[in-house]
Structure 1
Amino acid sequence: MTRKQAEQRGRQAERIAGWWLRLKGWQILARRARTPLGEVDLVARRGSMIAFVEVKARASNAALDLSIDERRLARVAAAAEILWHDLARPGDDMRIDVMLLAPGRPPRHLTNVWHGG
């Protein structure tokens, strides 16, 4: 797969993940939110919870299991700490989520996956 194809697949996965989250009652606050410490694919709010969501798409479910690692989650968490200050309201809470997408399967939403480390 070329870099351009991977970029297109990633953007499509982010669109699907955004729709999935909206169907579950989330409001999308930001897409591809960039900070000096990293990027967050989607930032979503439901009630007082803000989720910073890493989206991964792979050709198979097995490949998805290898797509997220501590290093990647640490970068998302660092970016979330920066973004939090602009997005949070008093009483809000935050978490790091992952959305995994593979062809022919519904998105898999893993919640609260980062606990520092």
Structure 2
Amino acid sequence: MRVMVVDDEDIERKGLKMILERELTNIVVNDEARNGRLAIQIAKTFQPHIIFMDIKMPGMNGLETIEEIRKDSPHVKFVILTAFDTLGVTKKTSTEGVMDYILKPYSKDELIETFDRLVVK
């Protein structure tokens, strides 16, 4: 399974990648992106199955990025990473086909449980 991590903060990307690779088998976190534009380019080549996407990034935000990636890759499952627990975010993510969202800061267990739910769906 190919997994991609998109977050503008290096420490968030590296930490998430480390947790996923350490705790899960049969996945490849081949790529990560620091912004939406780069994520779109990488997704076209890498063709990930799951993308963990930060919602608040400079320039193109996570929801805009998801919308663009969906045009070429409707099969991709998205998990939003956000520090914002608002109803508007929840409603918007459900209309964009986002499978789940995780509030920052998240625990390793929460991350693994979310991943496991996605694999089952």
Give the shorter-chain TM-score range: 0.3 to 0.5
TM-score by length of 2: 0.41
Richer in strand (by share): 1
TM-score by length of 1: 0.42
Richer in helix (by share): 2
